[in-house]
Structure 1
């Protein structure tokens, strides 16, 4: 059985619930990953669409997509933690602690798939390849990131930090 022990991290000021090592369900990990994927996908798609529509090169388009994925990923968590009545500074720290590794893994996989997919980086908005490769890359990122989130939640990290505020 999993037990929660409230703690307060004096370096970040974040109150958390740490978990003794225990079984974390795949469903819990998938829900955390889906939450992260939602923000990442919004930013990733928006960045790719903007960069492609403006005929930017691959590097600036990819950088914009990654930056927006982090912004939207953090924003969704920030919004839910702020809604719980937490101050902005603490909520921001919670979002960073909860999402950084998950978003980083997701973006590494997502952009890696796009870069390695033949002709995907040259596809235009009107091409099925643009949308198909983007959808496939996000699906693969979800599959790869879910075990990462399961591992983190099982150690009281990642989205386990956010659950203390729900």
Structure 2
């Protein structure tokens, strides 16, 4: 059985392969994205960087922390780094990309949010709300990928 067929077989027969598993996967993704987003926005804003470099840093850190959380889990299962890295890429790339697209899209479209400072309620409020919206959009994406034996379904064997 190929790895893809094996993953699909597990996803199709896991009792939690529905919404509960998708919510769990999205919460995992949200954790890494939120750490990276907040850290990137805080660093860029604190140093007075423009919107573009701050956003790029926040996105890079979101991917870094998102992948790192998965890597940590898979490495704990005794898997080598190369395999763990591949699993992290397969498990998280689409989820993080959707979350970042939605999260940053909300911030860009929110009036004055891109220019808010760290001591401004607009900075923290728009960031929090953008992450909630990103969670709501990303959860069905994760449900769809898990149902196809992809995304976080590839991590099932390492838990």
TM-score (norm 1): 0.89
Alignment correspondent of 1:133: 126
Alignment correspondent of 1:3: none
Q: Distance in 2 between matches of 1:78 and 1:29?
A: 19
CA contact (8 A) 1:7 1:18 kept: no
Gaps spanning 5+ residues in structure 1: where?
Answer: 1-5, 10-14
CA contact (8 A) 1:48 1:65 kept: yes
The 3-state SS of whatever aligns with 2:62 is helix
The 3-state SS of whatever aligns with 2:2 is strand
Q: Distance in 2 between matches of 1:146 and 1:164?
A: 21
- Residue 18 of structure 1, CA deviation: 1.9
Alignment correspondent of 2:7: 17
CA contact (8 A) 1:78 1:92 kept: yes
Is 1:8 the counterpart of 2:3? The answer is yes
- Residue 102 of structure 1, CA deviation: 0.2
- Residue 160 of structure 1, CA deviation: 0.3
Q: Distance in 1 between matches of 2:18 and 2:46?
A: 41
Kindly indicate whether structure 1 or structure 2 has the higher relative contact order, using CA contacts under 8 Å at least 6 residues apart.
Answer: 2
Is 1:65 the counterpart of 2:58? The answer is yes
Q: Distance in 2 between matches of 1:62 and 1:17?
A: 34
- Residue 114 of structure 1, CA deviation: 0.2
Aligned counterparts, 1:29-108, within 5 A: 29-108=22-101
Q: Distance in 1 between matches of 2:155 and 2:115?
A: 38
Is 1:164 the counterpart of 2:119? The answer is no
Q: Distance in 2 between matches of 1:7 and 1:34?
A: 29
More strand per residue: 1 or 2?
Answer: 1
- Residue 144 of structure 1, CA deviation: 0.1
Gaps spanning 5+ residues in structure 2: where?
Answer: none
- Residue 27 of structure 1, CA deviation: 1.2
- Residue 163 of structure 1, CA deviation: 1.2
